[in-house]
Amino acid sequence: MNYPQTSFVNLFSSQQSGGLVVNSVEIPLIQRDYVQGRKGETVERIRFNFLNALCTAVESSQSADISLDFVYGDVKNGTLFPLDGQQRLTTLFLLHWYLARRSNKSIQDQSWTNFTYATRPSARLFCERLIKVEVQLTAEVICLSKWLIDQAWYLYTWKHDPSIQSMLVMLDDIHLRFQCSSGTDCTKAWDRLTDTQQPAIKFHFLPMQANGLTDDLYIKMNSRGKPLTRFENFKANFEELLKKDHPARANSFAKQIDAEWSDMLWKYRSDDYLIDEAFMHYFRFVTEVCAWQSNILFSDETRTDDLAQQVYGNNNPDAAAHLEFLFNSFDVWHEKNIKDEFENLFTAASRGGSTPLFLFNVFNNISGGGQVNLFAACCQFHGRSEWTLAHTLLLYAVLLNRIYDTNNFPRQLRILRNLIEASDLLRQNMPKLLADVKLIVIACTLNGVTAFIPAQVDNEKEKVALLTQQPELKDTLYQLEDHELLHGCLTAFDLDLSQNHPNKLMKRANVFHELFKDSNYWPELTGAMLAIDDYSRRWLRWTGYLYAYFGASQLETSWGNLFRGKIEPDLVKVLNTLLDDVDILDIGNSLNEIQQKFVNQCTTTMEWRYYFVKYPAMRKGKSGRYTMRGYNACMLEKKRMSSNYRDPYLLAILEESGANANVLANPWPWFFGYEIEPRQMILIKSGIKIQCVDEGWQISESLTDPIQKNDFTLVCSKLGIAQNGLYRVPQNTQQIDTEDRVVLGANLLRDLVAANL
């Protein structure tokens, strides 16, 4: 049956289908309260859009007429009891009341005023008094709800009725809408609204047989009255945007989101069998990429609807291109096994440098399977900490390849992964980073790449040149790139073609893999490398001390940080010399021989490197980071001075002396505070303090016991300790030790302990 459209006014004045006549509307007792005027971000946005559509219709010409779909319910004795349409009918009632009052129309005898609520007596009375009490409403009223509350007929107890409070909010928004619309003629709007021939707002009325609808049916219908989800709201708003700005795309979007795209996303549905979140996450990813490319400022808190308006709305000159990319980003996965597609590109376990590419930052527990399925991960994790800017760049690269069918993609993807791993990715740099990704993937060039770390860009160019001339080195290079410590960065390796015979680079790579296969060799590795030269990364602190970074005996990441990024030439020289000198069949002895050879050469001068090479105790710091100045040093357990640390020279003399740590007072061996503060080893029996200074060992004491005082004097006399307590280490004119200060310090500690001090 075809049900003609009617309007709110015509609903009361015309005989409806089935011979039923509506004289009044009553919202049944079992129905919900009026909710369209509730507060809250989602409801407010829905109310704004709904009111804007209604008001635009009554303000504009016939072409702006709108239809509110079906309203249906039970009609008994001329009274309509809405089953569906309560919220819309209430809003229409309030809009009619407002425009009538603003137009100074008499409404006492108009049939549409026979509208009431049975949900609560207070709501019924409020509707009655709105109609019966004559009020003079003008545009000068600032806040309509406050003005109504101040009226004599308004009851104070109504503040507890949610329907009344919701109606007041709606009236406020209606009033604000017509106040803010310059040139709006409320009389003409009233005429458009109540036009019996061409009303501005219409709906289909479906009357039901007057045999009475049960309360059970009302309850069941109202259980369906959930608010629209974020996805449903977004979908409606985005379709409206497309209809207005890109009408040719609107139908396609509506069809594909309910068909091909829904089928594609079904594997990534939530526990409640909805694809809503998966779609919203992936849509947000694509839209953020486009926003960065248009230099649109946004944050994680920016609503997706608002961002979509900025990206795809006609105010953006790139809107058409962005919309094309959006559709392509969905279409490329249609009828594809997405998991297989990504597992052909990436792997979560290194396979010796071959394709698929080893991905360092993989995912766990992805809905849809796999650890490297970036599409599935985006649908699940985008907007959360698990999804990083690195993942955004990689997924963007994959989309570019799929959309434009680029050449040599596995090689370009490897280059991109290496650049991403080496760079500190920041949101403000994303426009340039995305442009660089496009250059790398589509143009297959590194020329013009500016946002990634320059040292790594240069390193990638070196590798391209090397493989062009010596393609047989591909497996060697790729295996090194995939090493967990290197993450694609080979700046620590000498790739100079004039120096690197293929066999030499292969040998170095093999030794490197063996050295870092596990941590067995790390305690000696730092000593061997320091024996070759000072390779540390250094920077000056405000205290005058240097931060020095060596790599640690236990912490894998310390070596990764050392070998990646911009590498000083000294480190390149030391690492490659070490790799050349180590016998891969006898690595342990090779490392010891390198250290011993250096120590044996230091017969006349002993700078700080001598001590760090000779005494393993001085290389025990977990972080591999030290603060150093002359013969003063702090060995950090963590990266910051704010944590506890040890004095490597004091630790070395304790171990060299053979003394037990229980002869020392707590909190040995830990110190805290700035490195400029004294670090003293304190003997528990006497309180004597020993400190390493540039000149040697400074001893402090405040002995009162005559026996201890005498024994201490004997030790000082034996060792030649000055009256000021300085046990001087012999040095040359450059203040470099000519005798081993650790040996001297160990003798001092041994003698003090032997003297029962």
Q: Is 727 helix (H, G, I), strand (E, B) or coil?
A: strand
The proportion of the chain whose per-residue pLDDT surpasses 90, expressed as a percent, equals 58
Looking at residue 387, what DSSP letter applies?
S
* 215 band by pLDDT with thresholds 50, 70 and 90: very low
φ/ψ (deg, to 5) at 297: -80, 130
For the stretch 604-616, pLDDT in tens is 999 999 999 999 9
Count of other CB atoms within 10 angstroms of residue 267: 18
pLDDT in the model for residue 224: 42
Euclidean distance between CA atoms 546 and 80, whole angstroms: 86
Alpha-carbon distance of 717 to 740, in angstroms, equals: 20
pLDDT band at 95 (very low <50, low <70, confident <90, very high): very high
Those residues whose C-beta lies under 8 Å from the C-beta of residue 450, and which sit 6 or more positions away, are: 432, 436
Burial of 186 from C-beta contacts in 10 A (0-12 / 13-18 / 19+): buried
Helices (H), 224-373: 230-245, 247-258, 260-265, 276-293, 304-312, 319-331, 338-343
Overall pTM surpassing 0.75 (yes/no)? no
C-alpha to C-alpha distance for 574 and 594, rounded to whole angstroms = 12
Q: Is 435 exposed, middle or buried (0-12, 13-18, 19+ CB in 10 A)?
A: middle
pLDDT at 217: 44
**CA 383/CA 668 separation, integer angstroms:** 47
Q: Is the Cβ–Cβ distance between 450 and 481 less than 8 Å?
A: no
Model confidence band, residue 664 (pLDDT cutoffs 50, 70, 90): very high
Q: How far is CA 155 from the centre of its chain?
A: 51
How does strand 79-84 pair with strand 66-76? antiparallel
Are 58 and 189 in contact by the 8 Å Cβ rule? The answer is yes
Q: Where are the alpha helices (DSSP H) in 80-195?
A: 86-102, 121-132, 144-149, 162-180, 186-194
Does residue 222 surpass a pLDDT of 50? Answer: no
Contact 623, 555 (CB under 8 A): yes
Check residue 677 and give its pLDDT. Answer: 93
DSSP 468: H
Q: Is the dihedral of CA 231, 234, 239, 242 positive or negative?
A: negative
Amino acid, res. 545: Y
Which pLDDT score, from 0 to 100, does residue 223 have? 40
The answer, yes or no, to whether the previous bond of 356 is cis (omega within 30 of 0) is: yes
Does residue 620 contact residue 635 with C-beta atoms inside 8 Å? yes
> Cβ(510)–Cβ(498) under 8 Å?
no
pLDDT tens, position by position, 369-425? 779 999 999 999 999 999 999 999 999 999 999 999 999 999 999 999 999 999 999
Helix or strand holding residue 728 (H, E): strand 726-728
C-beta separation of 357 from 337 below 8 A: no
Residue 3's pLDDT is 64
Distance of CA 628 to the CA centre of its chain: 37
At 15 the pLDDT is 60
**pLDDT > 50? residue 67:** yes
DSSP code at position 631: T
Query: Does the pLDDT at position 31 exceed 70?
Result: no
35 confidence band (pLDDT: 50, 70, 90) = confident
Based on the number of CB atoms within 10 Å of its own CB, is 124 exposed (0-12), middle (13-18) or buried (19 or more)?
Answer: middle
Write down the pLDDT at residue 498. 60
